Structures are given as structure tokens and as C-alpha cells.
Amino acid sequence: MIAPIFAANWKMNNGPTTAREFMLSFLSLYPRQNDRTIIFFPPALSFHTVAASLGERHDILLGVQNVHWEDQGAFTGELSVPIARDAGARLVLVGHSERRHVFGETDDECARKCAAVERGGLTPMLCVGETLEQRESGDAEATVKRQLRAGLSRMTQLMQRPIAVAYEPVWAIGTGKNATPDDATTMHEAIRDELENLCGDRARTTSILYGGSVNPGNAPQLIAAPEVDGLLVGGASLDPGAWLAIARA
């Protein structure tokens, strides 16, 4: 992946019809770029529609929002890494704040998922971030480092396999609040330092994205901040015009 990276997490939005319309609009205005990477994380039932819309646009990558750690089995409603890979996914979101705080996903489950993604030959984008209470109590950095260590703990090829990390302060997601560029830089530096402890020089080439109430107004300042390699965008990625402006930041 070439930085800067702009990743759209559509969450539970944009069914196949809306997704098709979105992609037609976006692609008509966004020609192939060689100096950045665009990623879409559509909902599972819209994945095929987005993939079909891309055609030969190999400059745009696709990922899934979640997977189970088993490759197959009696897990109704779940999605496996082999299924995601077969559909054309290149990346997998792991440990998004909503998975952790709405669905109760644990650090160990994130670790199992990252290991499954590695085993399946895809790239995990591990999401880490603190709550407002943790930030105000001075535990933000310790929380993020713990989530990072735990999430990567079951991976066996950290020195060889690509990974990505997304820092998303929970208090800034969908609230209209966002970390300042200085806040993002400080936490991204802490993440980079921890990655160096875990995988040595590989840390210098690991992309660290910021996510949390990103919009066309603050995207240029955030992406220009030191140590910010990209943006993971939620709500603003649902509007083709807003997403186009962010992707051009």
C-alpha cells in the first residue's frame, strides 16, 4: 500500500443498489492515482457490487469489516478469511471500536482474528483506541499499547507479513469531536515505538491510520501530521462528494 492511505468503512450502510450508485459517481470523478491508496470496506452483501464496479481499477483495494477466526464450520452469520479472500478482499478490519464496545469483542478474539488473517494471506488492519474515561484518567497510551500487543500476539510472521494499524479514539467516533493533529501524532508515535518493540525495523514501514470524525474540513491537516500515514473514515465516506474531497486531500 502506498501512503497516504484513505480507507472508507461503510459500516452497516449502503446496500448493493446504493453501493452501485456510489461507485459510479465516485469513479467517474476519481481517475487512477499512483501516489496514494484507496480502500473500501463495504458491508458483506455489498462487497460483490463494489468489486464488480471497480473492474480494472486495481489501484483501489477492498476489505471486509470483520471475520471469524475459524476457516470454516458451523458459525451461522459469520464470515471466514478464505471466503473473504475468494471474494476479492485484500484487507480485514480487526477490533474496530464498535466490535469491541458494542459486540464485546475481546483482545484475545482480536488476536485470533489477526492470526487467521495472517494465515489466510490477507492484511489485518488492527484498530486500537481509548475511551474518554481512559484518556481523562491518563491511561490512553497504556490502553492503546495493550490492545496493540494483544492483537498482534498470535501472529507468527510479524517480520515478514504486512500489517496496518488504525488509531481511533473511541470518544471521537461519530461524535463530531476529533483528536487534533498533535494528538494524533503523539499517539501514532507511541504506536510506532511499540511496533518497534514487537517487530523491529518492520515498524518503520507499517502504515498507521487515524480514524475518528474525519471530514473534508479536517482531513488535510490530519493527513499532513507527522506519523499519520492515512485516514480511516466512517460517516463522511458515505457521501460520494465528501469522500472524493477526502481522497484528494
Q: Which of 109, 118, 168, 194 is catalytic?
A: 168
> Which position among 68, 96, 118, 194 bears the catalytic label?
96
Q: Is the dihedral of CA 105, 111, 113, 117 positive or negative?
A: positive
φ, ψ of residue 195 to 5 degrees: the values are -60, -35
Catalytic: 105? Answer: no
Phi and psi torsions of 68, nearest 5° = -90, 155
Residues of the chain by 3-state class (helix, strand, coil), percent to 5: 45, 15, 40
Strand partners, 231: 6, 210
SS3 206: coil
Helix (H) or strand (E) holding 61: strand 60-64
Cell reading at 194: 511499540
The dihedral sign for the CA sequence 73, 78, 81, 83: positive
Torsion of CA 181, 184, 189, 190, to 10 degrees: 150
Bond before 4 cis per omega within 30 degrees: yes
H-run or E-run covering 137:
none
Q: Is 68 a catalytic residue?
A: no
Which residues are known catalytic residues? 96, 168
